[in-house]
Structure 1
């Protein structure tokens, strides 16, 4: 049942990627919307789930928040190391915005997140049909944002369109694979919470330090800001409906 429902997430992810492709003539709006979606996913979806799943504290601080900070710093470190490497090879001061490795790494993290969504869906159906349906609704609804962000992130850093489509396809398949895996393997809840915290920190860094500045640098307009707010509000709506 979980695998069958996960096919809905597959289709919704592809729809998000297709939308991102079709609005290339409004790149600043795409980036503004992607930044808002990423901010909403981190603050309203990933972090609450991570805090609930990870549970334990380390020296007075929830483990999920420590991993969240670690993820943010890790993304910053990787981005700076790639920028330094390109500068050493004659790249210009903005070269880090076009480091393909950053885009592929970010997209791979999105794929991992989607796989964990599938795992959560499969585990929920093991608990009961009602719980499974609620989790499935949340996963399918926000997978549009996942597909949109996966394609946008990959292309933003200079990767070819075929690579962006390949990452989009992997992201679409990930929930199906994750749901199917629950028939064979049970992932500990604490591990899932820690992963979500780490991934949330990295995603927030990309949104705040890369995506949104690029959106407003390319075309500083009120419409870009409105798209960012709309993206965050959309995630809030999805989380509220699934609650």
Structure 2
């Protein structure tokens, strides 16, 4: 399969998944908070495993294969840059932890350390910005020419987009109480990643594997931030800590099963 076709398919899957997941609460109304927490925890586990088992190892391998003498600070710096970017966005009100925003908006569960945006627009804009980094991860993975990397990264990203889109549907309907406005919010979020997938693929298609590897490492840093911040509030809470841990472990197990499946199918190749 040609790389362009891969990019288009993954962009289409990301768009479709986000629209379906976000459309459910818009069309069906209020959803179980427990279900939302479970989806978020499992998705965080999938994303965490995607970062530690795919994005970071493959990013290192690609970078070193292109430039064996590269200073390790470049690689570590790319990871830190991704993590810090997410932290900066969070600090300036463009947070991605919408499930916590909505949860705390209605109930005081002692999560006073979580930043709360004042309106739905800032929440949707923040999540859409985060979705742009998701698209970068998939686009860079496709540009690497390694089908296994692209598939594994896409699984992690798309798994995380499901609860994010679901939460946008809930939050937007709650704040706006307008179905048409909620669909507009969801569409803005849904198209962000596909656009960046294609842009990243096109822009990185003709560059050295060193820069593709660094882009994947940068994405790995964003994955680490998002995955940990998603579940930390629940892990720190005595009533939800063990359940949140279980959800993350389930997510990690799912990702490992996916990787084993890719390995057995012969799709995983480490010949960079």
CA offset at residue 32 of structure 1? 0.3
- Determine if the alignment matches structure 1 residue 166 to structure 2 residue 207: no
> Comparing both structures, which one devotes a greater share of its residues to helix?
1
2:214 and 2:164 map into 1 onto residues whose CA distance is 23
1:225 and 1:215 map into 2 onto residues whose CA distance is 9
Report what 1:32 is aligned to.
41
- Determine if the alignment matches structure 1 residue 3 to structure 2 residue 4: yes
SS of the residue corresponding to residue 82 of structure 1 reads coil
- Kept after mapping to 1: 8 A contact 2:46/2:159: no
Aligned pairs, number: 218
CA offset at residue 177 of structure 1? 6.2
- Determine if the alignment matches structure 1 residue 106 to structure 2 residue 107: no
Consecutive unaligned residues of structure 1, counting only runs of 5 or more, are 84-90, 125-134
**What per-residue deviation string (whole Å, max 9, x for no partner) do you get for residues 161-215 of structure 1?**
5333433344346556666x38x9512211111122222212211221x201245
1:214 and 1:5 map into 2 onto residues whose CA distance is 36
Report what 1:212 is aligned to.
231
2:227 and 2:41 map into 1 onto residues whose CA distance is 9
CA offset at residue 37 of structure 1? 1.5
SS of the residue corresponding to residue 168 of structure 1 reads helix
**What per-residue deviation string (whole Å, max 9, x for no partner) do you get for residues 86-123 of structure 1?**
xxxxx995562545244222111012222223323xxx
Consecutive unaligned residues of structure 2, counting only runs of 5 or more, are 26-30, 95-104, 106-110, 173-181
2:114 and 2:243 map into 1 onto residues whose CA distance is 27
What's the Cα RMSD here?
3.6
Question: What aligned pairs does 1:1-243 form with structure 2 within 5 A after superposition?
Answer: 1-10=2-11, 12-14=13-15, 16-17=17-18, 20-21=21-22, 22=24, 24-25=31-32, 26-55=35-64, 56-58=69-71, 61=72, 63-82=74-93, 93=112, 96-98=115-117, 100=123, 101-120=125-144, 124=145, 135-136=146-147, 138-140=149-151, 142-153=153-164, 160=182, 162-172=184-194, 175=197, 181=202, 185-208=205-228, 210-216=229-235, 220=240, 222-240=242-260, 241=262, 242-243=267-268
- Kept after mapping to 2: 8 A contact 1:150/1:164: no
Change (3 A) 1:71 1:152: same
SS of the residue corresponding to residue 186 of structure 1 reads coil
Change (3 A) 1:233 1:62: farther
CA offset at residue 44 of structure 1? 0.9
Q: TM-score, normalised by structure 2?
A: 0.64
2:8 and 2:215 map into 1 onto residues whose CA distance is 24
Change (3 A) 1:142 1:27: same
